[in-house]
């Protein structure tokens, strides 16, 4: 009798016994994927050792569609790239638009496989899949789907039907979209004729749809307002995957629009549940403050907790901040594979037998003969051979010519990046150096150049609408024999410096630029190296890069506050 009355009392007060202890809060350090990581899509997969997997947009960066794995939602390791071989979609190599390429991927787990659907703007929309997300070559080729729009979703309904919602431009107005839907049959990728699905809350343009089924409702999560300051997350629901949908009266359910938050442009969300049943959301955000002027890293991935009661609308835990309290899974960095964690620094000397680190990026497909690790005549270096065109390209440039460029994302507001370069150009026009690279239309370069018969110079030059004056300085004779050390540094949150030294010598600043010069469009900054001959095809001088160092020196989160670049919640110093 006594036991029964205790149970009754417990259920009356809602205090239940035998429930798992409430998870303790710890601190989310946003962004969880710092640097150029827009349009995140994530899944939690119990069958794969309770791991979270996320994919993000890459536009023309190659390899594309990085897959990050995490067991604690704080430490994310790069485990593969879904798009890692030209054979998967050869036409990617011919895309001309600097804002085209792979837009927002949707990543899902179904029938023991991981699936991605994505629109490659300038080419095809298609899907690819794998049985092993840790293995690049296990990702299939891209099967085109003929979806007449962008930001496609994947949703398997309980009856087995595969639906894809996507954003379709309304032809009468190129800046207006509607969410449409097709059924897809696998494996052909054939689709039905598309049909109108929803307009969201009519804050143009609705895009980035993700459908999910919960408690008998089909929910449709959208991005509205465009990817800049007006970006917002909205949601609707209906009894059928084919609509109609009612709108959440609380829409937008997450946004930084009309706020003074440092984390702006919050939108393009995805939602998933962990092993404890806790809901989480990811979204893209720009660390720019409402001024939205300085944001060289572009759109980054942020995390927030969500609360989703049975039969109710989800409540997303905004506003997005650099530090947020939430019941995170406990720290666990035990993840397979040799890739880097996204917050790791770099120090590479390219020893014999090593390969190019998986988080390094090219722009479109590389001309592979232009990159060699530890060539026998110059071990412990990365050899670059020049492309004909410079990073911008010239009138004759076609994408398949390639540009000799390799970089890594700027992942910290403050950082120092440097390399040693052994390079003695002998043909006029030859140049090799370091670059801060956003796209072929926005980059800032400091290189060793053969300018004329007199000899070699250091040249600082930028390609951008508001490019600063070019600077040419002669290289002291005593530097020439030692090899050069070149550096790019974000010395504060608004400015970069470009510096040079003889290897092992005193560094000398050549120029500074405001970070606004690379705050533009859909991508985010890379730092890296390049080599070209500027059309003088007699120029074949190799450039040998070594001692590649990238060290983050602070993440800025607004209001004058930073946290350390390798900032994990178990880390020292805070």
Ligand X SMILES: *[C@@H]1O[C@H](CO)[C@@H](O)[C@H](O)[C@H]1NC(C)=O
- Residue numbers at the binding site for ligand X (CB under 6 A): 22, 25, 90-91, 94, 135, 137-138, 159, 161, 170, 176, 178, 183, 185, 188, 190, 192, 199, 232, 252, 255, 257-258, 305, 317, 325-326, 390, 392, 394, 398, 400, 445, 451-454, 457, 461, 463, 472, 492-495, 512, 534
Distance CA 213, CA 159 (A): 12
Q: Which is nearer to ligand X, 346 or 427 (CB)?
A: 427
- Buried b or exposed e, range 232-259, using 16+ CB within 10 angstroms: bbbbbbbeebebebebbeebbbbbbbee
> Cβ of residue 185: shortest distance to ligand X, in angstroms?
6
Distance CA 72, CA 214 (A): 24
Q: Which is nearer to ligand X, 227 or 546 (CB)?
A: 227
Distance CA 288, CA 320 (A): 13
Q: How far is CA 161 from the centre of its chain?
A: 31
Q: Which is nearer to ligand X, 1 or 396 (CB)?
A: 396
CA nearest to 119, candidates 155, 85, 86, 95: 95
> Cβ of residue 443: shortest distance to ligand X, in angstroms?
7
* Residue spans of alpha helices (H) in 441-546: 477-480
284 near 9, Cβ under 8 Å? no
> Cβ of residue 429: shortest distance to ligand X, in angstroms?
9
> Cβ of residue 132: shortest distance to ligand X, in angstroms?
6
Q: Which is nearer to ligand X, 533 or 546 (CB)?
A: 533
> Cβ of residue 85: shortest distance to ligand X, in angstroms?
11
Q: Which is nearer to ligand X, 179 or 372 (CB)?
A: 179
> Cβ of residue 263: shortest distance to ligand X, in angstroms?
15
Please give the span between the terminal C-alpha atoms of the chain, in angstroms, as a whole number: 53
> Cβ of residue 460: shortest distance to ligand X, in angstroms?
10
> Cβ of residue 503: shortest distance to ligand X, in angstroms?
23
Q: Which is nearer to ligand X, 104 or 182 (CB)?
A: 182
> Cβ of residue 442: shortest distance to ligand X, in angstroms?
11
> Cβ of residue 376: shortest distance to ligand X, in angstroms?
28
Q: Which is nearer to ligand X, 8 or 196 (CB)?
A: 196
Q: Which is nearer to ligand X, 10 or 170 (CB)?
A: 170
CA nearest to 301, candidates 58, 561, 48, 18: 58
- Cβ neighbours of residue 360 closer than 8 Å, sequence gap 6 or more: 406, 407, 408, 528
Q: Which is nearer to ligand X, 27 or 551 (CB)?
A: 27
Q: Which is nearer to ligand X, 7 or 187 (CB)?
A: 187
DSSP 264-331: EEEEEEEEEE-TTS-EEEEEEEEESTTTT---TT-EEEEEEEEE--TTSPPEE--S--SEEEE-PPPP
97 near 59, Cβ under 8 Å? no
Burial class (CB in 10 A: 0-12, 13-18, 19+), 193: exposed
Q: Which is nearer to ligand X, 41 or 390 (CB)?
A: 390
Distance CA 198, CA 181 (A): 9
- Cβ neighbours of residue 448 closer than 8 Å, sequence gap 6 or more: 421, 423, 425, 431, 432, 433, 456, 457, 458, 475, 484
93 near 102, Cβ under 8 Å? no
Q: Two tokens at 373? A: 């690790």
Helix (H/G/I), strand (E/B), else coil: 542: coil
> Cβ of residue 202: shortest distance to ligand X, in angstroms?
7
Tell me the residue length of the chain: 574
Q: How many CA atoms lie within 13 A of 309 on its CB side?
A: 2
> Cβ of residue 3: shortest distance to ligand X, in angstroms?
29
Q: Which is nearer to ligand X, 326 or 475 (CB)?
A: 326
């Amino acid at each position: 009798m006594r036991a029964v009355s205790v149970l009754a009392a417990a259920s009356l007060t809602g205090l239940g016994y035998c429930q798992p202890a409430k998870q303790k809060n710890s601190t989310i350090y946003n962004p969880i994927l710092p640097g150029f990581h827009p349009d995140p899509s994530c899944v939690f997969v119990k069958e794969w050792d309770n791991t979270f997997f996320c994919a993000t947009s890459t536009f023309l960066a190659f390899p594309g569609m990085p897959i990050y794995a995490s067991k604690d939602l704080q430490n994310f390791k790069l485990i593969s790239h879904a798009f890692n071989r030209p054979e998967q979609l050869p036409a990617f190599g011919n895309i001309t638009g600097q804002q085209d390429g792979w837009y927002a991927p949707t990543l899902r787990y179904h029938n023991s496989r991981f699936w991605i659907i994505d629109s490659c703007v300038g080419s095809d929309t298609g899907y690819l899949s794998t049985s092993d997300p840790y293995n690049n070559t296990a990702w299939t080729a891209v099967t085109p789907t003929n979806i007449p729009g962008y930001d496609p979703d994947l949703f398997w309904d309980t009856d087995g039907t595969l639906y894809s919602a996507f954003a379709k431009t309304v032809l009468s107005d190129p800046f207006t979209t509607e969410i449409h839907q097709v059924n897809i049959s696998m494996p052909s990728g054939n689709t039905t004729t598309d049909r109108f699905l929803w307009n969201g809350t009519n804050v143009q343009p609705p895009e980035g749809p993700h459908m999910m089924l919960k408690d008998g409702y089909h929910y449709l999560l959208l991005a509205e307002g465009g990817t800049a300051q007006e970006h917002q997350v909205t949601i609707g629901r209906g009894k059928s995957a084919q609509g109609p949908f009612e709108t959440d009266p609380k829409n937008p359910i997450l946004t930084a629009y009309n706020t003074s938050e440092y984390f702006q442009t919050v939108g393009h969300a995805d939602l998933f549940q962990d092993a404890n049943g806790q809901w989480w959301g990811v979204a893209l955000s720009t660390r720019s403050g409402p001024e939205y002027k300085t944001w060289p890293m572009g759109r980054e991935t942020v995390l927030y907790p969500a609360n989703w009661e049975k039969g109710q609308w989800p409540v997303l835990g905004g506003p997005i901040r650099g530090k947020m309290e939430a019941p995170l899974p406990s720290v666990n960095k035990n993840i397979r594979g040799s890739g880097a964690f996204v917050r790791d620094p770099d120090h590479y000397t390219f020893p014999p037998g090593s390969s190019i680190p998986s988080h390094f990026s090219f722009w479109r497909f590389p001309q592979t003969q232009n990159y060699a690790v530890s060539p026998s005549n110059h071990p412990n270096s990365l050899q670059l051979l020049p492309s004909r065109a410079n990073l911008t390209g010239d009138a004759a440039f076609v994408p398949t010519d390639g540009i000799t460029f390799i970089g890594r994302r700027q992942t910290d507001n403050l950082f120092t990046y440097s390399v040693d370069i052994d390079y003695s150009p002998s043909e006029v026009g030859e140049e090799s150096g370091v670059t801060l690279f956003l796209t072929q239309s926005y980059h800032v370069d400091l290189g060793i150049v053969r300018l004329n018969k007199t000899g070699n110079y250091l040249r600082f030059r930028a390609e951008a609408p508001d490019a600063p004056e070019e600077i040419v300085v002669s290289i002291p004779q005593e530097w020439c024999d030692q090899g050069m050390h070149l550096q790019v540094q974000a010395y504060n949150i608004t400015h970069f410096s470009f510096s040079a030294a003889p290897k092992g010598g005193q560094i000398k600043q050549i120029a500074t630029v405001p970070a606004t010069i690379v705050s533009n469009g859909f991508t985010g900054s890379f730092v890296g190296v390049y080599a070209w001959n500027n059309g003088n095809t007699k120029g074949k001088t190799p450039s040998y890069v070594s001692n590649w160092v990238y060290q983050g020196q602070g993440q800025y989160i607004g209001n004058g506050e930073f946290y350390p670049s390798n900032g994990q919640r178990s880390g020292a110093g805070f």
